[in-house]
């Protein structure tokens, strides 16, 4: 029987269930979803402030350890399948004074690693076709290894020097003074009153308002992703030529599309079936993934609007972390080859012994974070 996997249009992969709305209505819906997202962030920050630090004492104690904070971010993102949600919630925690900047940065680094789980799961969809599975799991693991290696390089630097936190705080101060970013008036009379109204409806049940905020956050990001996919869906040949013509183009388009779609999980998962079916090279797939890492920081920056300078700082530290990762690996093809070869090695082992891939997934994303957090408690 012929393999029909290669005949699936990319437009279907981008948007397997198209939303039957007129183009202009999709644009309006996107703006509404952005508004819902901002309301969710405001409601979350207000609810957390009401709950007070006493209710989060144990959680905050765990996150005081930078390496545990890394695994908290990793685990939460693996469970929620959305680094955008975790980083946005982290911004809300910082904005409400529940979490310090230097303790929040490892959580964001962990979220970067946790978001790679989606790619690996997509790769396992090719497990019945050996050659496709080997190429697909390799592409997925380049995303995973890139974020792990970047964290291994930058987390110790941040731990000993606070370079990221100090730089991002300085940038936030400069931006706030220049553009008044943390005092955007239109949010004060649009987003804030609605968030306050929802909080009042909960009648003092602050955990309920936190739950509503998280649900609104998840729904807005999910809806935004689906609608953006519908807008960007187009002819597969044009997409391949436009997005993956060169490593630099792949990097730029990865950044732009992810910034628009606001889901690195969605856009990076796109490259797995393309790499699996040899429609794009592993290098171009890797460059697209690096760009997606930068593009996903837009969500945290948006969440930090109207918050404190410290909240803006955590969003900027997310951007700096991912930019530094690109600056470390993109200009040096040999470093890219190192990541790709490491992914190929584990991909080859996963092909020979299928259980290895599942064990790696369970250990890195679930068992190790759980054990480390429990030991700390």
pLDDT in tens, the chain (377 residues): 444 444 444 434 444 444 556 666 777 887 787 788 778 877 876 776 665 544 454 555 566 677 888 888 888 888 776 777 788 878 878 877 777 888 889 989 999 998 888 788 888 877 788 888 888 899 999 999 999 999 999 999 988 998 998 999 999 888 877 766 555 555 566 777 888 888 888 876 777 887 888 888 778 767 766 665 555 554 556 666 778 889 999 999 999 988 877 767 777 777 888 888 888 889 999 999 999 999 988 878 887 776 678 888 888 999 999 999 999 999 999 999 999 999 999 988 888 887 888 889 888 888 888 887 777 65
| Residue 7 confidence (pLDDT) | 46
The token pair that represents 17 in the structure block: 């269930």
| Residue 179 confidence (pLDDT) | 67
| Residue 126 confidence (pLDDT) | 79
Rounded distance, CA 298 to CA 56, Å?
27
Q: Where are the domains positioned within the chain?
A: 34-376
DSSP annotation string for 223-278:
HHHHHHHHHH---HHHHHHHHSSSHHHHHHHHHHHHHHH--HHHHHHHHHHHHHTT
DSSP annotation string for 349-372:
HHHHSHHHHHHHHHIIIIIHHHHH
Output the CA torsion sign for 193, 198, 200, 205: negative
| Residue 15 confidence (pLDDT) | 42
| Residue 183 confidence (pLDDT) | 55
| Residue 224 confidence (pLDDT) | 66
| Residue 167 confidence (pLDDT) | 93
Q: Which residue has the tokens 């068992």?
A: 367
């Amino acid at each position: 029987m012929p393999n029909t996997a290669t005949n699936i249009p990319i437009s279907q992969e981008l948007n397997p269930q198209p939303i039957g709305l007129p183009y202009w209505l999709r644009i309006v819906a996107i703006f509404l979803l952005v508004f819902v997202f901002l309301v969710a962030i405001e409601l979350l920050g207000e609810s957390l402030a009401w709950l007070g630090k006493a209710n989060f004492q144990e959680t905050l104690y765990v996150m005081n350890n930078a390496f545990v904070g890394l695994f908290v971010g990793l685990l939460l993102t693996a469970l929620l399948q959305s680094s955008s949600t975790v980083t946005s919630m982290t911004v809300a925690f910082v904005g409400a004074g529940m979490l310090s900047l230097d303790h929040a940065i490892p959580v964001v680094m962990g979220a970067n690693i946790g978001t790679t789980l989606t790619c690996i799961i997509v790769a396992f969809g090719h497990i019945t076709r050996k050659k496709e599975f080997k190429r697909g799991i390799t592409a997925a693991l380049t995303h995973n290894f890139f974020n792990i290696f970047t964290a291994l390089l930058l987390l110790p630097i941040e731990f000993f020097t606070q370079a990221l936190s100090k730089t991002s705080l300085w940038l936030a101060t400069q931006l706030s003074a220049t553009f008044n970013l943390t005092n955007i008036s239109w949010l004060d009379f649009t987003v804030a009153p609605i968030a306050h109204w929802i909080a009042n409806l909960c009648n003092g049940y602050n955990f309920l308002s936190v739950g509503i905020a998280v649900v609104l956050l998840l729904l807005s990001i999910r809806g935004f992703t689906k609608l953006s996919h519908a807008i960007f869906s187009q002819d597969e040949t044009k997409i391949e030529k436009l997005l993956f013509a060169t490593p630099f183009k792949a990097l730029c388009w990865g950044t732009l599309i992810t910034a628009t779609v606001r889901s690195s999980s969605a856009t990076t998962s796109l490259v797995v079936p393309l790499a699996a079916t040899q429609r794009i090279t592993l290098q171009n797939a890797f460059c697209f993934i690096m760009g997606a890492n930068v593009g996903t920081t837009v969500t945290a920056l948006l969440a930090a609007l109207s918050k404190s300078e410290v909240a803006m700082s955590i969003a900027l530290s997310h951007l700096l972390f991912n930019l530094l990762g690109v600056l470390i690996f993109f200009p040096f093809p040999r470093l890219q080859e190192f990541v790709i070869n490491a992914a190929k090695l584990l991909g080859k082992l996963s092909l020979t012994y299928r259980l290895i891939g599942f064990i790696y997934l369970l250990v890195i994303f679930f068992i190790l974070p759980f054990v480390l957090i429990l030991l700390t408690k």
